[in-house]
Structure 1
Amino acid sequence: MSDNESEVPTARSIDRVGEGPTIARLVLFCLKVGLMSFGGGLSGWLYREFVQRRGWMTDEDFASSFAFAQMLPGPTITNLTICCCSRFTGSVGVLACCLALLVGPFFAVLGLYTVYGTLSHNPVFQAISDGVVFAAIGMLMIICIRGIRRTIAFPPGLAVIAGTAFCVGVLHWPMLPVVLCFAAISVTLAWRTL
């Protein structure tokens, strides 16, 4: 290889040489991602492996697969795994990759359920659980505050946020109809500013 050539194969060179990943390699990769990324960050792992490290796909191919996966019903990561792996394997390979991706989190949830059932009456465990709950609430509040900061530039958006919070939080109206109503109002207001 010359100094100008990259050591990572590109998706185009794979098509030319026929060096695509085997089913076994894809299944092992999906198993690794499922075990190591329980709880999130899975699409980043897939991007890193398929585009950056292995060159199995181009950025454009991955981006279009990711957009398509987000539009489909169901978990985005499962849809993305299907889109990415279907380029190299048949339906049996795609099914094997999806199962490999989901088997780790499945058993992790069963393990957490068992641990929780065993320790739920322990006061120390209850205190730890309460701490985790408050940390999750704090993280959600940070996301909300950042969203509000971005919306400050669009004053009608602040009215939509305040109206939604008031109707759901103070009046205790059902969330789904309130969100649907305010979403329609928000889209209409945003459309008029374009």
Structure 2
Amino acid sequence: MDGASPSPPAEEAGRQSLAALFFVFAKLGITSFGGGVSGMMHAELVVRRRWMREDEFLEGLAVSQALPGVNVANLAIWLGYRARGAGGALIALAAVILPPAVLIVLIGETLLRLSAWPVAGALLAGVAATAMGLSLAVGYRAARHAGGDLASVAILAGTIVGALVFHLSTPVLIAVFAPIGIGLAFGRSRREQG
């Protein structure tokens, strides 16, 4: 890998209440913007609360991005499930979606009026830049975690080239590179066990 120190041990799974889970995911849903949600989830659940290890979070991030649907919802389901099973998954999903939806409905008219204000564009550009920075930070962590060998780096590079140069869709990239990565990981696991 990269020689970085391992993540601190996560607290015991299931130790947090469903109410605490709802509160944390509702806070994340209301206070995070755009692609930065996964970065804020990492900061809250791995760094601050230590509800899971970094490798567990990155595993969930990879799964949530490979599945159809909204990445943030998928990640909330995964993280909630890891924390408290099926009930935790439902609570995390509801918490990350419902409070922001209610807030948007309540302040929707104000948002429409503000969007016509010239300074609002500059403010939103600043928020977008921050969200992009959070996304890149999580992407860097995931790449560092996954880039433990030459084959993983080749898959990462192939995916980037496929997306940016050839404009391949996510399903195509997953269909091409996921089986290769799974096969390599399976082979590596068998060698380690045998």
Deviation by residue 1:34-93 (Cα, 9 ceiling, x = unmatched): 111143421112111221112221111111111111101111111111111101223233
Secondary structure of the structure 1 residue equivalent to 2:15: coil
- Seq. identity, %: 28
Equivalence for 2:42: 47
Q: Which runs of 4+ in 1 moved over 4 A?
A: none
Deviation by residue 1:148-191 (Cα, 9 ceiling, x = unmatched): xxxxxxxxx8xx97xx9xxxxxxxxxxxxxx569xx9xxxxxxx
Partner residue of 2:103 out of 103, 108, 119: 108
CA distance in 2, matches of 1:126, 1:55: 42
CA contact (8 A) 1:34 1:104 kept: yes
CA distance in 1, matches of 2:44, 2:168: 38
Partner residue of 2:116 out of 117, 126, 129: 126
- Mark the CA change 1:38 to 1:180 in structure 2 (over 3 Å): closer, same or farther: closer
CA contact (8 A) 1:85 1:97 kept: yes
CA distance in 1, matches of 2:81, 2:70: 17
Secondary structure of the structure 1 residue equivalent to 2:83: coil
- Mark the CA change 1:85 to 1:180 in structure 2 (over 3 Å): closer, same or farther: closer
CA contact (8 A) 1:9 1:56 kept: no
Residue type of the alignment partner of 1:93:
G
Task: List runs of 5+ in structure 1 lacking aligned partners.
Answer: 1-7, 144-156, 165-178, 185-194
Within 5 Å, which residues of 2 pair with 1:1-194?
Answer: 10-11=9-10, 14=12, 20-115=15-110, 119=113, 126-128=116-118, 132=121
Deviation by residue 1:92-130 (Cα, 9 ceiling, x = unmatched): 33212211111232123223432256x49xxxx73438x
CA distance in 2, matches of 1:70, 1:33: 18
CA distance in 2, matches of 1:47, 1:116: 28
- Mark the CA change 1:14 to 1:103 in structure 2 (over 3 Å): closer, same or farther: same
TM-score by length of 1: 0.53
CA distance in 1, matches of 2:168, 2:89: 36
CA distance in 2, matches of 1:71, 1:126: 37
Task: List runs of 5+ in structure 2 lacking aligned partners.
Answer: 1-6, 133-160, 173-194
Residue type of the alignment partner of 2:116:
Q
Tell which has more relative contact order, 1 or 2 (C-alpha 8 A, sep 6+): 2
Equivalence for 1:172: none
Q: CA deviation at 1:25?
A: 0.7
Secondary structure of the structure 1 residue equivalent to 2:69: coil
- Mark the CA change 1:14 to 1:180 in structure 2 (over 3 Å): closer, same or farther: closer
- Mark the CA change 1:46 to 1:110 in structure 2 (over 3 Å): closer, same or farther: same
Larger Rg: 1
